[in-house]
Structure 1
Amino acid sequence: MIKYPEVQRRVQEQIDEVVPRDALPSYHHKPNLPLVEAMIHEALRVSSMAALGVERSPNRDIEVGGYLIPKGSFVFAAAICCHHDPQYWEHPDQFRLEHFLDEQGNFASHKEGFLPFGTGRRSCLGESLARMELFLFSSALFQNFTFSAPEGCEVNLKENSRLPTIRMPIDQNIVITPRMNES
């Protein structure tokens, strides 16, 4: 959100409209906060943290899409490729909440080509807990704080290249301002 302050502002405005200032956002606010949900999903898409997912290996020779995959081969669901494929995303290289909003501005939850928690029967067991925590923590943080770069510093979204299969952000400074002090 530091890189996209206009998105941060839109999300904060919606939180302010829906959640009383003296209360923290809760799960029952979720249906009325589609921008928070879209922001979380778009951040998961753009970051593709588990870029190649978890390796799998077939226990027998199989054919997929006309290709033979021999028993014992390593197979990866390359989420990063799907997350940046124009077949699935109108503007794959842009951070756009609209990727997860319908024409009426409602959150559009299931999107083909969106695999932040893996795919198939062995997708992440903690997905439902992670989604709930992402919503609660993100909405509470954006309700109470504004995030920005230090004056004169540019936000760098490149990842730490020391980790080949997990995309982690590089270290950088962030200014966190309580929103009560905003004018």
Structure 2
Amino acid sequence: MPQLRLIGALLFCLAAALPQAQAESVSITELSWTDKQFMAAQLARVDELVRSEMGAQIHGKPRDIDVLQRVVNRNLVDRNDAQTQQALGLVLGNVIANKTGMQWVAYKDSNGRSRALCVKDTSDCLFPMTMLARRMAVGLYPDVNKIYQEAMEMVQPLVNKSPYDVATESEPIN
């Protein structure tokens, strides 16, 4: 039960921060060469981990969600290993990107610079690199599939918009 309360508190904090985040200045740019190299190294880190410990591979496909869950359940990443925890989030983000067409970008706001997954040409973004890491860092064993499903539900209305949809006063777009 304490884990559920903590998750609820984290979600409340996230929801409370959203209106404030929208009001601040945000800069979204393409990933630098350094970002791309760093992310490639992180993917290699997770791929090596799952190959050596489980005989599996990372593919950027939905089956990676089950692999990530096994990594979490087997406690293969130390609670203090933020780099590898974020690398797990990168794998999760790649599954989301491949399913939705979202793009990795450099996202800069008052909290600093991070890598985010955004709907093309918008500031509608997810931060998958911390979706697992923040939970694992406090000793939780996140339900990776649940986090994936919730992220997909949040972005689905945004990624499925057609540029030809036009709202009228009598007929709002769903």
Q: TM-score, normalised by structure 1?
A: 0.28
Q: From the two aligned structures, give the one with the greater helix fraction.
A: 2
Give 1 or 2 for the bigger CA radius of gyration. 1
Normalised by the length of structure 2, the TM-score is 0.29
Q: Which has the higher contact order (CA 8 A, sep 6+)?
A: 1
